Structures are given as structure tokens and as C-alpha cells.
Amino acid sequence: MKQVILLVEDNPDDEMLTKRAFKKNNILNEIVVARDGQEAVDYLLYQGNFSAREKGINPQVILLDINLPKLDGLEVLRKIRENKETSLVPVVMMTTSDEQEDLITSYELGANSYIRKPIDFENFIEAVKQLGMYWLVLNEQPKLN
């Protein structure tokens, strides 16, 4: 079964840079991009445009930006954790802001990790490398019955 990474990102530049960072690190999983919070929730809960999606398949990891149109990242995170199907999917908050409050709220809502997107691209590639290493290779996900 092919492992999917869900990238929730509204900024096309960041989307492109993230994808490139994955490629640079030889992470070749399929990357599904949701461009706002609602789209991400629709994808995960098989709603709207994604109602026809094959059931029972959760992404291996969700990369979630905080500042998003419609539903913001923290609200999406809350919905992910509230839903039984998705409650155990690893979620990595990715954000440009370094507000302490965002960080604390993210962990309170059950985020697995929190990284601030560095401006320097080299650093960004490094951060994505660590992320892929841990969440895609090392981490063992609990199986849902």
C-alpha cells in the first residue's frame, strides 16, 4: 500500500519548496495537497470532492500549516483528533509564525510535532529530512481495528 503524505498548505511557493525538499531527501511518497482547512477535513473525512475516495486509508503523516483560509490549522487539528478514524494519525504543525501561543495550543490539541519553517532553504531541507526520517521511516503507527 502506497503511503500518502497530506500537505495542507495554501501558499503555492511553500508548496513547491516543500515538495522539492522531499524530493531532495529522496522521500518519494505521494503528496496530496489541500489548499485550505476545509479541503483537508473533506479529504480526511471523505466529504465533498473527496466523497468518492477509497475508504479506510489515512495519510502516513499530515503536514499542517497554521494560517489557512476557511478553517485554520488549529481547527483542522481539533477535527482530526475528534474523529475516531483519524485520531491517531501523526500531525506535524508547520508554520512561519513563532508565536508561543500557537505552539502551546498545537500541543494541547494533540499535535505530534511542531516545526517553524526556516527561511534559509538549506535549513528547510534539513528540517524536512529529519521529519521524513522520523515520521515516515522510524515511527510505528498503531493499527486501527
What residues between 17 and 46 interact with other proteins by CB under 8 A? 17, 20
Compute how many residues bind other proteins; rule: CB under 8 A.
18
Strand duo 61-65 + 91-95: pairing: parallel
Other C-beta atoms within 10 Å of 51: how many? 9
What residues between 71 and 90 interact with other proteins by CB under 8 A? none
- Nearest-approach distance from CB 104 to other proteins, in angstroms: 14
Terminal-residue alpha carbon distance, the chain = 17
Q: Does 14 bind other proteins (CB under 8 A)?
A: yes
| Alpha carbons 145 and 138: distance in angstroms, whole number | 22
Grid coordinates given for 122? 538549506
Q: Does 120 bind other proteins (CB under 8 A)?
A: yes
Residues at the contact surface with other proteins, assessed by CB under 8 A = 11, 13-14, 17, 20, 67, 95-99, 117-122, 124
